[in-house]
Structure 1
């Protein structure tokens, strides 16, 4: 059974990596064939039980069933979609706020269950409602909505769309798993109408309670540094935790504690079960009527389920609850609780309920951690107890998860065992119980004590996170090296007395010292990143790194530096940017610069910044002017600034002051032109003429019709033109006439909003271009 469930899971996993789902006809044939084969295997298995062929047939059948199950679930969910013809159109919709909203300074985001509309809309959508910034609008506060309210809105929607970059977060997959099939905004100027203040449904009542608890915590601890942590522990809402605190949690390896995770759900269940079992044994009559172990299992399951419901039954919490339910039901049914069998059944239940769970890092880490504990405790003649067992288990989990953490996050914490040794008992047995008690008893000192203890813990964690060796970071290793590392850790954690047990550590070393291949001298790699409506381009030579622009600021305290550039650079193994070029000071080009310079070492910053710009004050970063005629050579690749020229009058527009950079190697050339418009284009043609001809061009001003004049396009005559623009952006970039103009000179057009990051490899053989959405195509992309 266990191997069959693993095969089922493998089939589910394989389906999630398809670039396209099978046609319905093929899927129906596969399902029917699996059922027929299953009946045949069952009949044959009765006579040849345990035969090799029968076992192989069962495993193959389980794999096919898992694949078909995931494919059918995906087919049904993708069918609930927003037609492309309805993107960007105003639609009136009536529905209910069905989850806990996410408030911010400028507005609120919330999940909305559609009840009535004249348009063909999905059943669930994600809406953002922002405060009007128009003068005289009379709205000095962000709009507020509560779970369970029924509203009538005029909305403008788009299909699920996220930024797609190498090793980046797949936002479209996350929305698919949540069942959200369109996103959009409540339209300004169209007055929303509250139809019903409360719709009494079971989960709506829960979300309304969560909202009230969150509001009470925030009111009890106004402006408190760690109130977001307490809210996360109480109702599972982590969105109030600032990014600075998340960095500390990740560096110390305790992020799993700052949420209603499997650990906390299990802790509540075990604590309540232990108390009920202890009290149950005091009554002989109760014990004779029902065994104390079963009473404890039932009470623990109810308590864990109640806590999970209070957390909103988010997807990670659902997985934890399913695992606990399998164990509790086995105990209640009088079954022998064999660890591996329970884990396999939990895996099956999770994947039946949520086949997209295999895309989540939490899925692999939660099942992996339980499996590692079982592995550490199994096959030993004697096991440690008490604090020795706790320390041994924590060290074992830390070592065994190193390969997985490097694959999933490109990093692991070196101080994690010590940080968890302090944090696990304090958070699980003191802070979380106090927080939960404060829900039942609205007594302010309980929350204040929990907050004080959290602050005490943060002092220790901040001290550990400040160590220069707190976290190991590197590029994501290849699958073969990661597999070798996992096998090595498995060998190293075998029981004492195993021959050459510590030799398993050597299987981990190749993964730790691996670095991604770089271009050879005379070649370079350019990646136009998908940052939305903005620009960010990474250029890599044999030994140097250059970044041209830092992407936009997104608002709500986020920017491309945090969301795109730093994760991308970490995954690529880049620890230092030798030169950061900011083309000009518009926020769609410089919005992520501050986060970038705070997160990675910058050699020098080339930009024409105002004298009061805060980027000039970054310690250790040298600022140099971007001026025509500036040249440098890295690893047999030539770089030259072509614009702006100091001997020309200052341009009338800031766009025309953009730094223009040309990169040349024997295999090909690239031209990066910022947001220059027609005046700057004429100036470039006047000074350089046909010398600006390049194999690849980053199209000026995202494809605006105020740029890309006919003479300029003809002079460059590229093989490829890259448009860096945001999906359905308000400027409607790129303009169709500009798109056609570049195509007319023989260029193949590429665009980041539809194709993701664009990778350009310039070698001695020439120029090769690939789009990230083509390299890692998934069936949900574009749906």
Structure 2
């Protein structure tokens, strides 16, 4: 049974790495053939067992393909992107506020615009600016409300970068098949205050609980954490607190995890059993142990739904369901079988759960606990045994999840065991129960006490965060798999042969070295940051960052979301030169995040407020046989009063042994002419970063001809409001091969016998990605 369950999970996972969905009729034929072979070889046990495992894998693959096909057909037709559509629908989930408005999921019930076709569920933003008075006077979007909106939508699209977050996969898993916004100055009308459906009722309850928390602690620094522990809503936790949790390795505790669900189930089971035993008539009707099982199962289900039913809560609830069913029927399924059955339930209902890091971390952690617990049988007596058992558990989870943490996040907290030893009992058995108790009985004193306890814990975590954090490049998948084998070997019970050799299997993953170009060569990576720019340049022993990407909102920028994770994953521990080309926020928006995360040796910029040196034409340096030259702006440009920020863009030319690249930022026609007059001979390059995202004010024919690039890269956002790149500009690059970040994702330039460029979207194509 175990091998069959694992085979089904492997089949589901295999489907999620396909670049395109397979045709369903051939899959159905393959399943029919597999079942026929099972019938033919039913009297040959070994052959039948192998066929059964293969059939289970094929069934998992086919089931995931069928679900994906259904979801892909619920899409937004291309001809309806960017067009006004009037709809009636229901706010389907808890809205989340951001700097300028509200973001929420919306179930489309009726499309009022003739001939328009929309997905059943979309992700919307409603910006406050145009109706500021109404928002100030108490206009609130609440779950379960029916509204009539005029929308403008687009297909799901996210930034595509190596080691980056796949936003399109996140949307696809949640069946959000379009994103968009409520149109300003159009009629928006609340039709019904509440539409009854179980899902909407749960979301409305979550919203009421969240509101009660913020009513009692409106300005408390850690109220967002308490809300997350009570209802699973993490939106109010600031980025600084998430950074603290990552540095101490307690991120898993600051949302509703399996431990919390299990604790609630155990608490309700014990309480219900205690009360049930007080009545003889009740005991004659149903034994107390079975009543405890039922009460614990119902409590776990209710808490999981209140938490938004994320993967850790799902995994725990399904596993508790399997255990509860076994106990109810007086059967013992065993720890591993219970865990695998829980995995089966998760993947049947949500085949895309394997795309979430939490799926792997949560199942790995519970599996390791089962491995350690079953390998060390015997009762626990006294505080010494309890302390030893607790230490063993911490060691197992810490060392066991190390390979996955390095693969997924490229960092590991060295103080994680100590931080978790302190935080797990306090959060799970004191802070979370008090938060839940307040949700049921909203007595303000409960929440004030709870927040005080959390503040004490946060002070302790802040002290621990000062200790080192292990960071390294992302290890190869092969090294990670080898390390996982080593973890299982290492955690085997005492007496298992040569356990110390398991440490050798962990070494390739822990001591992964970053790849670097050979001397004389340069690697240039134009990251996909949307409508903005960030370019990473590496030589044999140095690194340069050319711009830091856009500022998305007050809480988010490309520096923290894209640039810093990319630097960490590729092993760049120090930036030798940071070049911020000009003031515009689409180029300098991630500056602060980069400065806080990575040591910077030298900063060049045309922005006076940034500490560092001016970038001036004529500057240059050589790293590892690669020549870097600043071509613009000139000294006289700094003396011009009221110069446009675009005209002050720093232009950089990179010349290696194999090719040359010209990085132009946002220069316009005037600057191009100045470059032609001042340094025309230096402009010729193999690769050109197209000026100003392909705007109509740049890329003059003379400039394009002088550069003569074989390859032209346009950093541009998907369906951006500036309509970049302009069609007339694209025509000027007819002799170049064009690359676009909105279509190709990150563009990576590598040396070789022939100049080699690659597009990340082509290398990492998945069936849910926009074509």
Could you tell me which of 671, 675, 690 is aligned with 1:699? 690
The change in CA–CA distance for 1:83 and 1:466 in structure 2 (over 3 A counts) is same
1:619 is matched with: none
Determine which of 544, 561, 567 is the counterpart of 2:542: 544
Instruction: Check the 8 A contact 1:108/1:143 in 2, yes or no.
Output: no
Please report how far the alpha carbon of residue 321 of structure 1 lies from its aligned counterpart in structure 2 after TM superposition.
1.8
Structure 2: distance between partners of 1:19 and 1:771:
14
Whether 1:752 aligns to 2:749 is no
Deviation, 1:282, is 5.3
Segments of structure 1 that go 5 or more residues without pairing to the other structure are: 617-622
Structure 2 residue aligned with 1:203? 199
Match 2:103 to one of 109, 112, 118: 109
The residue that corresponds to 1:607 in the other structure is 605
Per-residue Cα deviation, 1:565-602 (whole angstroms, up to 9, x for no partner): 11111111111111110111111100111111011111
- CA separation of 1:143/1:663 partners in 2, compared to 1, >3 Å: closer, same or farther? farther
2:232 matched to which residue of 1?
A: 236
Residues 5-20 of structure 1 mapped to structure 2, 5 A cutoff = 5-20=5-20
1:729 to 716, 720, 727: 720
Q: Deviations 1:468-523 (Å, cap 9, x if unpaired)?
A: x1x21111101221122112222211111223222211221222111122100000
Aligned partners of 1:609 and 1:217: how far apart in 2? 43
Residue 641 of structure 1: CA displacement? 0.2
Residue 724 of structure 2 aligns to a residue in which SS? Answer: coil
Within the candidate set 61, 79, 84, 2:78 is matched to: 84
Give the distance between the partners of 1:499 and 1:320, measured in 2 at CA.
Answer: 33
User: Would you say 1:22 and 2:16 are equivalent positions?
Assistant: no
Distance between the aligned counterparts of 1:568 and 1:305, measured in 2? 38
Would you say 1:761 and 2:759 are equivalent positions? Answer: no
Q: Is the counterpart of residue 317 in structure 1 residue 332 in structure 2?
A: no
- Counterpart among 339, 342, 347 of residue 338 in structure 2: 342
Cross-structure match for 2:215: 219
Deviations 1:164-196 (A, max 9, x none): 111100010010010100000111111311111
* Residue 777 (str. 1) matches residue 765 (str. 2): yes
In terms of mean alpha carbon deviation, does 433-442 or 453-462 score higher? Answer: 433-442
RMSD (Å), alpha carbons: 1.7
Matched with 1:164 is: 160
8 Å contact from structure 1 (residues 131, 143) kept in 2: no
| 3-state DSSP of counterpart to 1:596 | helix
Q: Work out which of the residue numbers 644, 661, 675 in structure 2 matches 1:670.
A: 661
Alignment deviations for residues 420-443 of structure 1 (CA, whole Å, 9 cap, x no partner): 111111111111111111111111
Counterparts of 1:353-392 in structure 2, within 5 Å, are 353-380=349-376, 382=378, 385-392=385-392
Partners of 2:377 and 2:669 lie apart in 1 by: 80
Matches within 5 A, 1:556-705: 556-610=554-608, 613=609, 615-616=610-611, 623-647=612-636, 650=640, 652-705=643-696
SS of the residue aligned with 1:675? coil
- 3-state SS of 2:635 partner: coil
User: 8 Å contact 2:99–2:553 — kept in the other structure?
Assistant: no
Contact 2:312 2:362 in 1 (8 A): no
Is the Cα contact below 8 Å between 1:331 and 1:337 reproduced in 2?
A: no
Q: Which residue is 2:176 aligned to?
A: 180
Q: Pairwise mapping of residues 184-195 of structure 1 onto structure 2 (< 5 A)?
A: 184-195=180-191
Residue 120 of structure 1 pairs with residue 117 of structure 2: yes
Q: Deviations over 1:658-688 (max 9, x none)?
A: 1000000120000001100000000000111
**Displacement of 1:303:** 0.6
Distance 2:54 2:508 in 1: 34
The answer to whether the aligner puts 1:395 opposite 2:385 as a matched pair is: no
SS at 2:552's partner residue?
A: strand
Q: How does 1:340-489 map to 2 (within 5 A)?
A: 340-380=336-376, 382=378, 385-467=385-467, 469=468, 471-489=469-487
Q: Which digits, 9 at most, give the CA deviation of each residue in 1:726-783, with x for residues without a partner?
A: 10000000111111211x2x210000011110000134x2421000101111011106
Shift of 1:138: 7.4
Is residue 295 of structure 1 aligned with residue 291 of structure 2? yes
CA apart distance, 1:388: 2.1
Q: Displacement of 1:347 after TM fit?
A: 1.2
Match of 1:620 in 2: none
2:515–2:570 contact (8 Å) kept in structure 1: no
Q: Which SS does the other structure have where 1:578 is aligned?
A: strand
Instruction: Determine the C-alpha separation between the residues in 1 that align with 2:634 and 2:375.
Output: 74
1:280-318 CA-partner distances (Å, limit 9, x unpaired): 455566555434332221110001111112223344433
CA gap 1:725/1:445 in 2 versus in 1, 3 angstroms: same
Query: Does the 8 Å CA contact 1:108/1:142 hold for their aligned counterparts?
Result: no
Cα displacement (A) at 1:607: 0.4
Deviation at 1:328, TM superposition (A): 1.3
Asked if 1:257 is matched to 2:246, the reply is: no
Distance 1:235 1:294 in 2: 28
| Cα distance, 1:122 vs structure 2 | 0.1
- Aligned positions, number: 762
Stretch moving more, 258-267 or 524-533: 258-267
Q: Distance in 2 between matches of 1:55 and 1:720?
A: 54
Query: Could you tell me how far apart the structure 2 residues matched to 1:572 and 1:400 are?
Result: 24
Give, in angstroms, the shift of residue 159 of structure 1.
0.4
Instruction: Output the CA distance in 2 between the equivalents of 1:200 and 1:285.
Output: 37
**1:266 corresponds to:** 262
Give, in whole Å, the separation in 2 of the partners of 1:144 and 1:342: 44
SS at match of 2:129: coil
Deviations 1:538-568 (A, max 9, x none): 0000000000001110014211111111111
Q: Would the aligned equivalents of 1:131 and 1:141 in 2 still touch at CA under 8 Å?
A: no
- 2:29 is equivalent to residue 38 of structure 1: no
Deviation at 1:401, TM superposition (A): 1.1
Q: Return the offset for 1:139.
A: 6.2
**What does the per-residue CA deviation read over 1:120-142, in whole Å, with 9 as the maximum and x for residues that have no partner?**
000000000011259x9876579
Q: SS where residue 689 of structure 1 aligns?
A: helix
- TM-aligned CA deviation for residue 37 of structure 1: 2.2
Unaligned runs of 5+ in 2: none
Task: Report SS of the residue matched to 1:180.
Answer: coil
Mapped contact 1:88–1:158 kept (Cα < 8 A): yes
Determine helix, strand or coil for the equivalent of 2:41: helix
Q: Secondary structure at the match of 2:240?
A: helix
Find the aligned partners of 1:54 and 1:528 in 2 and give their Cα distance. 52
CA distance in 2, matches of 1:293, 1:517: 59
